[in-house]
Amino acid sequence: MKKLFVLAVAALLFGSCSKEDQAVIDRDIILDYVATNNLNATEHESGIFYLIDTPGQGGNPTLNAEVTVRYKGYYLDGQVFDETPGSETRSWPLSYLIEGWQICIPLLKKGGKGLFIIPSGLAYGSNPPQGVRKNAVMAFEIELVDFQ
């Protein structure tokens, strides 16, 4: 029983270190991407880097809002993994979306557009849905069309 407890504690500690290590790796990847692409990005306290192209008008959505967006999501190697086709939009309760979007979207006002580079821990992390890379830093171009 004592051995089992020690193994459980060790596994928990190893898992914690792994997330911290991944955060350092993600930060290095993001800093390299920002420098290589000469982006004048702002760093959010969460570790997300962003550029607001168009701030938009009015207020900002809260976590309780339903947001309507156009977006393109891609890995930092440029491979697009998801986007709204053409002029179509998608709507969701903001609280249902990945943590990175919950942080990013309230930085925009209605009509606002920005580029957000999200560390893997605020995206899908080590357990992504099928077809999404594990521990991937992701970039999203997001336009906040509307919110309620």
Which domains does the chain possess?
2-147 (3.10.50.40)
What does the pLDDT look like over 12-61, one tens digit per residue?
Answer: 444 445 788 999 999 999 999 999 999 999 999 999 999 999 999 999 99
> What are the start-end ranges of the E strands in the chain?
42-43, 49-54, 66-75, 80-83, 90-93, 113-118, 138-147
- Per-residue pLDDT, 41: 98
The percentage of residues in the chain with a pLDDT greater than 90, rounded to a whole number, is: 86
